[in-house]
Structure 1
Amino acid sequence: MRSPSPTPTPAPSLATAALCAAVLLVALPQARAINCYQCNSKVDVACAELEPPPPNGTERYLRLCKDGPDGEPAFCRRSVIKVLAANKGEGETRIVRSCGWVKHKNECYKFDDDDHHEHVCQCFSDACNAASGPGHAHFLASLLAPALALALALRR
């Protein structure tokens, strides 16, 4: 007696593939490893005007961030700090690019005191703390992929 032939498995549709890609795209920023620019323009003036993408000399500042002391996932931070001169209100502006572990409720925020003014932005994708500040390309891409998947699914 002959055994039955196996039933062929149907190939995934384009909509299914697009939906899987969308899920991966949205899930990728949740990965715990992140590479951030890490430098201080007081120590290295080239830090003030980083313009990605490498290779253009900026790759030497791009380093893997470690998780925080209590296991908090790292993210990138860019701070513009104006150190005030005593009694003059003028001073030196510094750019500090670093890793962070304690998230602020806002993407960007300001802190001022008698000694300095600080404008800080946090971002959550590789190399996002370059000169242009936090990018929104990932956010737009995360909206585009599900919209494409939905459009393809509705087209059927």
Structure 2
Amino acid sequence: MVNQFLLTDEITVTTDDFLLCQEEEAKGDTKMKISELYLVELILVLVQFYTANAIKCFQCDYSKPGCADLTPKNTSSQYYKECTPINGTAFCRKTRQSLLFREDIVRITRECGWITHKSNENRCFKYDTQHKFDTSCQCFEDGCNSAFTLSIPTYLMSATTAAIAALYRIF
């Protein structure tokens, strides 16, 4: 039995029409809820992507007190900061500069980097001139450019290279 309702002289609505209309409305609500869910999911993915790319590095140089002695545990230090995204994914860098004419002068710089050195993306690389010897290390974890980033083999290579450079000056 189909119930009919007379709304005006010209429009008649059955209960089946009314139920069908309610079903369509419910489907519309579902579609809206699903699209809202996708939007929330997209926002969460973007937030996670941003936080995954935000790395914290020690950022200071030899002129700042305490910069040379930072350890990975110094995360409350004023020098421990999030890298500002510029071009590409940020990473941490530590550069140790020795002046060849003054062996007692060593300059340490800790900073963020955005362009990795192409010869070795995960380790250290060296470059020197007649007056200075530099070792620059790049790393990709929070606080990895602390005072203990360089490994023993890197120190040995640095010492060996410095000794060869000193011998070269003598002869």
| TM-score, length of structure 2 as denominator length | 0.52
Q: Does 1:82 align with 2:98?
A: yes
1:131, 1:76 → 2: CA distance?
13
**Does the Cα contact within 8 Å between 2:60 and 2:67 map onto a contact in 1?**
yes
Alignment map for 1:17-32 (pairs within 5 Å):
31-32=52-53
Q: How many residue pairs were aligned?
A: 100
Q: 1:53 deviation in Å?
A: 1.0
Instruction: Report the secondary structure of 1:79's partner residue.
Output: strand
- Ranges in structure 2 where 5+ consecutive residues have no aligned partner: 1-47, 152-171
Deviations 1:8-43, CA, capped at 9 Å, x for gaps: xxxxxxxxxxxxxxxxxxx99x921111000112x1
Structure scoring higher RCO (CA < 8 A, sep ≥ 6) equals 1
Which runs of structure 1 show a deviation greater than 2 angstroms over 4 or more consecutive aligned residues?
none
CA RMSD of aligned residues (A): 2.6
1:53, 1:112 → 2: CA distance?
31
Larger radius of gyration: 2
Q: 1:73 deviation in Å?
A: 1.2
**2:83 corresponding residue in structure 1:** 65
Q: 1:133 deviation in Å?
A: 0.4
| TM-score, length of structure 1 as denominator length | 0.56
**2:108 corresponding residue in structure 1:** 95
**2:142 corresponding residue in structure 1:** 126
Q: Does 1:50 align with 2:70?
A: yes
Q: Does 1:39 align with 2:60?
A: yes
Name the structure with the higher helix share: 2
